[in-house]
Amino acid sequence: MVKREKAILFDLDGTLWNSAHEVLLCWNRVLSPLHRHITEAEMDRLMGLTPREIGDIQFPDLPPAERYALTDRCLDAESPYLFERGARLYPRVRETLVQLRRRYFLGLVSNCTEDYALSFLHAHGLTDLFDDHETAGRTGLGKAENIILVLKRNQLKKAVYIGDTAKDQAAALTAKIPFLYASWGFGDIRNYQPTAGAFSELPALVCTVLAE
């Protein structure tokens, strides 16, 4: 296999797919017997956060141990559903990933649980297109630290991180790699360049960002 020294690392939620509808169903199945409910707007603001951040935002009325336990129950309910059914990929994700992998190392770095990431890869038949992945759920680390981890263990010399939020941008900055903004996601980064308006624009934009 040809060793790819340039890498594209992707965020998941809001960049590769939108699972908010499916996750909402799973969460409310857990919460309804507890007389709790989460709305679509609330779910949108939680996408891409770490489990602890989600618990602090969504269940601030509960003691820390209880809020994190409830968050874990909700997160555990997502993966079996998504593993079988998947969610909504953004337009031309598969075709574009196939094109990009001919030239670049492809990685996935997300704040999600490990099972959630594996569900994404399995449900949409994308496992073979990604050379590596890392999650906050597996390492307990933040996104910047996980980006650095993937870069080091794969001996990657040059990389770009593609995500949809200001937190993704900050993680790339901390990891000292360029950031490419996916404007179709959950975030709103005003006047940032480089910005992709559609997933299919990535090959040309990445080529420019990672040019020698």
Q: pLDDT tens across 5-44, in order?
A: 899 999 999 999 999 999 999 999 999 999 999 999 999 8
Please name which of 98, 99, 104, 78 lies closest in space to residue 13, comparing C-alpha atoms. Answer: 78
In order along its 212 residues, the chain shows pLDDT tens digits of 456 789 999 999 999 999 999 999 999 999 999 999 999 999 988 987 888 999 999 999 999 999 999 999 999 999 999 999 999 999 999 999 999 999 999 999 999 999 999 999 999 999 999 999 999 999 999 999 999 999 999 999 899 999 999 999 999 999 999 999 999 999 999 999 999 999 999 999 999 999 85
Q: How many CA atoms lie within 13 A of 160 on its CB side?
A: 21
* Residue 44, pLDDT score: 86
Q: What is the strand order of the sheet 195-196 is part of?
A: 132-135, 105-110, 6-10, 158-163, 179-182, 195-196
For 190-204, the pLDDT digits (tens) are: 999 999 999 999 999
Owner of token pair 């996408």: 47
Q: What CATH architecture applies to the domain 6-18+89-209?
A: 3-Layer(aba) Sandwich (3.40)
How big is the CA angle at 101 (ends 96 and 106), to the nearest 5 degrees? 100
Which structure tokens are listed for 123?
Answer: 């449900």
* Residue 3, pLDDT score: 67
Q: Which residues of 192-204 are buried (b: 16+ CB within 10 A; e: fewer)?
A: eeeebeebebbee
* Residue 205, pLDDT score: 97
Q: Which amino acid is at 53?
A: E
Owner of token pair 């990009």: 100
Q: Where are the beta strands (DSSP E) in 68-201?
A: 88-89, 105-110, 132-135, 158-163, 179-182, 195-196
Q: Which helix (H) or strand (E) holds 6?
A: strand 6-10
Q: How far apart are CA 8 and CA 106, in angstroms?
A: 5
